[in-house]
A and B are shown apart, each in its own frame.
Chain A
Amino acid sequence: MIVHRGCAIPSGYSYDVPGDLWVRFEGDVARLGITDVAQTRMGKMVSIRFKRVGKHVAAGKSVATVESAKWVGPIHSPFDGEVLEINEEGFAEDMLIANKDPYEAGWISVVRPDDPSNAEAGLLTDDAAVEAYRTRIDELEISCIRCAD
């Protein structure tokens, strides 16, 4: 796990760096969530609306929209695919779950990519991901803050 300016960049994930999104491939499906940078930038979440299970989502279209105290915005899927699971239960139990634990308990959706062989295109992993994210964090001049439990 690399931590840069307080922002965690754990290994084992693929990253859409400009989209502040992480992807964890689990067999032929992918679990999506927001990064530490994303949760810091948006602030405490007050509401989330998920694309329903069974719906198809196109690359660049939203799997969810989130509302924080002073902002609304989408969370984009990096590839075409079908929504298989949504973290409805996690957010119902604790709306700040992604603010507290963005990489595990605060996951957003599980999507089955239409073309698994091409799903990683445009995503970065390992050293390339860390380097790109470090650069982004420096450019944004951001320091990450997590909500306390």
Chain B
Amino acid sequence: MTIRLLDFGQVGSLRSLAIFHGVGYAMREDTPDTITITRPSDPFVSIGHHQDARTEVDLDYCSEAGVPVYRREIGGGAVYLDEGQTFWHTIFHQSRVPTKLADVYTRFLAGPVLALNRMGIAAVHRPVNDIQVGGRKIGGTGAATVGESMIVAGSLMFDFNYELMVRVLRVPSEKFRDKMYSTMREYLTTINRQLGDDAPSREDGVRILMECFSETLGAELVLDEPRPDELAAIAEQEERIASEDWLHLDGLPASGDMVKIAEGVKVVEGVHKAPGGLVRATVAVRDGVVDGLVLSGDFFMEPAEALGELQDALVGVRHEPDAVLGIVKEQLGDVDAPGLDAADIVAAVMAMPQE
């Protein structure tokens, strides 16, 4: 068994996105399963498939800074990307991937995890789709059905610009931005941060990744060139992704082709004094559901990653005391947090008045 490898090297940011969309759309049942590699030459912001660009991204800032904003057909949140990341995409016909999404991730994340291990990073796959090292995320992953293909996307994150990441986002307040920055620094790491001078070069990193994909997928990777129909599909995707219509997919209320269910975001800031210390919560609530959350304070929590995991677990939960309490209790199961119990966290997250 072989898998085709299309290594596009360093390309413009628009093309880096268009490549995996184009190869995905051009895939038919008789197309060989393919892995693509790209590295953007210029910075850009990539928004999730269902995000609203105006709501999520400071478009004025991006325009002034010359940072283009593109919508991708992969879910998740807005992210600032640049040449610090090398993107990989597994593009397999959907008839040749596991039925269950969790199994899809298990199969395709094994290679990247092994590659990080070979570089000297003790990364693990944390289901469903996180790759973590010591409780910190190292890059993001996602999956989408594009045409007849199932695409799993990820990156070798050599470097990440935390400052610009939080700068390009629209946030409820500067305080929220500051907290988001410190939280991101704490819970998101990179290959260079982990390995310093021992980090491999980009070329070596890609070579290691390809060896590991080959081993974990049990197939030889064969370097190939894109076919003419794939190049045509990539060009078509470049045009689409660069268009204002695609970026502002929902258009104005009375226009556009599509309509999305979304509500406005409100921000709740809560402070609660617990015996173990002060708990501060800044919560973005969209349509009654926690959309983003930063917890901070002077309390103690061990293991260190527990706070980040608690924050992640609360995203998507209804902003109601019972719902929040259920998740907090579940998350704090084996966590050592003296003088702090689930009700204290709930009080901060719900911004309950304290006597």
Contact = CB atoms under 8 A, between A and B. Distances in A.
Interface in A10-62: 41-43, 46-52, 55
B204 to A, nearest CB: 30
A47 B260 contact: yes
A92 B261 contact: yes
Nearest to B128: A70
A91 B145 contact: no
Interface stretch (B3-11, B237-245, B251-259, B319-327): B251-259
B99 A73 contact: no
Interface string A64-102: 010111111110000000000010100110010000000
A142 interface: yes
A42 B128 CA distance: 13
B261 A91 contact: yes
Give the contact-size bracket for chain B.
20 to 34
Contacts of A52: 256-259
B50 A95 contact: no
A49 B260 contact: yes
Given A70-B101, A72-B49, A48 B145 contact: no
Nearest to A46: B316
Interface in B35-81: 48-50, 73-75
Contacts of B250: 49
A140 interface: yes
B100 A72 contact: no
A127 interface: no
B156 interface: no
A141 interface: yes
Nearest to A66: B50
A95 B261 contact: yes
B257 A67 contact: no
B290 interface: no
B129 interface: yes
B317 to A, nearest CB: 12
A72 B105 CA distance: 14
B128 A69 contact: yes
Interface residues of A, number: 28
Contacts of B258: 49-52
Given A67-B50, A72-B49, A72-B73, A88 B145 contact: no
A41 B99 contact: yes
A139 to B, nearest CB: 8
Contact of B261 (A42, A47, A65, A74): A47
A114 B262 CA distance: 31
Contact of A51 (B105, B143, B257): B257
B49 A142 contact: no
A86 B249 CA distance: 17
A49 B210 CA distance: 36
Contacts of B262: 47
A71 B143 contact: yes
A51 B142 CA distance: 24
Interface in B213-265: 249-250, 256-262
Contacts of B49: 65, 67, 72
Contacts of A88: 259, 261
Contacts of A47: 50, 75, 260-262
Interface string B15-52: 00000000000000000000000000000000011100
Contacts of A95: 261
Given A71-B144, A142-B100, 5 more contacts: A46-B316, A47-B50, A47-B75, A48-B260, A67-B50
28 contacts: A41-B99, A47-B50, A47-B75, A47-B260, A47-B261, A48-B50, A48-B260, A49-B258, A49-B260, A50-B258, A50-B260, A51-B257, A65-B49, A65-B50, A67-B49, A67-B75, A69-B316, A70-B105, A71-B142, A72-B50, A72-B73, A72-B75, A72-B145, A73-B145, A86-B259, A88-B261, A92-B261, A141-B99
